[in-house]
Every structure is written in C-alpha cells, then in structure tokens.
Amino acid sequence: MTIFFAIILYIAGFYLLARRAVAGAVAPRNRITFLAVLFLVYSCIAAGFAILAYQWRNPGLAMYAICLLFSLIEIGMIFLTLSHCNREIRSRHVILFLLYLFAILLVTLVTRRPRADVVLQTEMFASVKEFMVKGTVEDLNHMVLNIVMFMPLGYLFVQMHPQKLGDPAKVVGVGIMLSSVIETCQLIFRLGNCDMDDILANTIGIFLGWALFKIVHRHN
C-alpha cells in the first residue's frame, strides 16, 4: 500500500509542481520544453529518495524526509505569494486564520507535557491496518480527528484571498508544511508521536477545507 501511495504522490506531486511553476511564469511556446526539463529534474530527485527508501528499508522515513524538504520550499513560496498580494488580503480573515492556527498549536504542542520516550512512526496507514487486522478503532478515530481538525484551516486559508490562495496546490502545500512542522516539534520536544499518518490526515483535512470553500462559494 505504501508503494501504491508513493506512486500516486509522485504523479500528484509533479502535477501540482508543474501547475504552480508554469502558471503565468513561462511563455506558452516554451512550456513543453520547460515541463520536460522540470519532469527530468523532478524524477531524478524522486529517484534519489526512492534509493534512500530502499537503503533505509523504510519508505515512510523517506516520505518524512520529503515532507521536511517540501516544507522548507513551501515556506518560501508562501512568503513570496503573500508579498505580492499583501494589500489585497482580507485582514479579518487573516485574524480568523491565525486564531484557529493558534488553537491547533495549543492543542498539539503548548498544552502537552514532555514524554520520556520519542516515537517516530513512519509506517504509512498504520492506523488503518490496526483497524483492519485487530479491529482497533482508537488510532482510526485519531486519524479522522486530525482530518476534521484541519478542515477549517483549509477553508480559512483560501478565504484570506480566494484568487491568490485558492489554488489546490498551494492548499496542499500549506497542509504538508504545517503538519510536518507540528509533527517535527512533537518529535524534537518529546510532546507526542511523530506520525506520518498524522501528516497525511492533516493534509487531507486542509484539502477538504479547500473543497468545502469551493462548494460554498461556487457561484461567486
């Protein structure tokens, strides 16, 4: 299942990257060449992480490394986008977004006490496997909660500027970035399990928040 998910992520990742890189930045006559070069570079990087996953015997750990690398890139992309439209962003929606983000940080980091052990859970879909094999619903409920918790964040993020921030690639990128930062802080400061399933669930949640915004405002 992890390999199947990695293939989907590989295809979806290139699609989102190409959509962000090409839009408005490349002349139409040069787009085919640009996409070919971008695909070659992207595939080389993906192959490098695939080799690491094979050497580590842990695809989930390689996925976590990809998320961390992507987070660094995404932070720069967010600041670049916001610097180009800072006067157009709706301030009251920014306040709502930051307040909800603070509430998430409060729940996931601030109110937690340090633990004696450190847990890095890199197995993908571990909670789903536990439910399918043992019928354990606790981890599955935790995954569903992570999805629901990030849905308002996706909605509020797009609401700040629907034209500039409404691209699904940006929303997915923000989801991966924020979740990876939270999970890494939990790992560094021993505030809980650093779990790849949490990153996946949070990203799904913020994407569903984007989809909800599009449904609610489809006639606007």
Distances (CA, A) of 167 to 13, 43, 171, 172: 14, 23, 7, 9
Which is nearest to 213 in space by CA: 143, 136, 157, 137? Answer: 157
Phi, psi dihedrals of residue 116, rounded to the nearest 5°: -75, -30
Q: pLDDT by residue (tens digit) across 131-170?
A: 777 777 887 888 899 999 999 999 999 998 888 888 887 8
Task: Give the span between the Cα atoms of 66 and 79, in whole angstroms.
Answer: 20
**Which of 70, 183, 180 is CA-nearest to residue 118?**
183
Number of domains in the chain: 1
Nearest-angstrom CA–CA distance, 20 and 28? 15
pTM of the predicted model as reported, rounded to 2 decimal places: 0.80
Each residue of 163-207: pLDDT tens digit?
888 888 788 888 888 999 999 898 888 888 888 889 989 999 999
Q: What is the domain extent for residue 179? A: 2-216
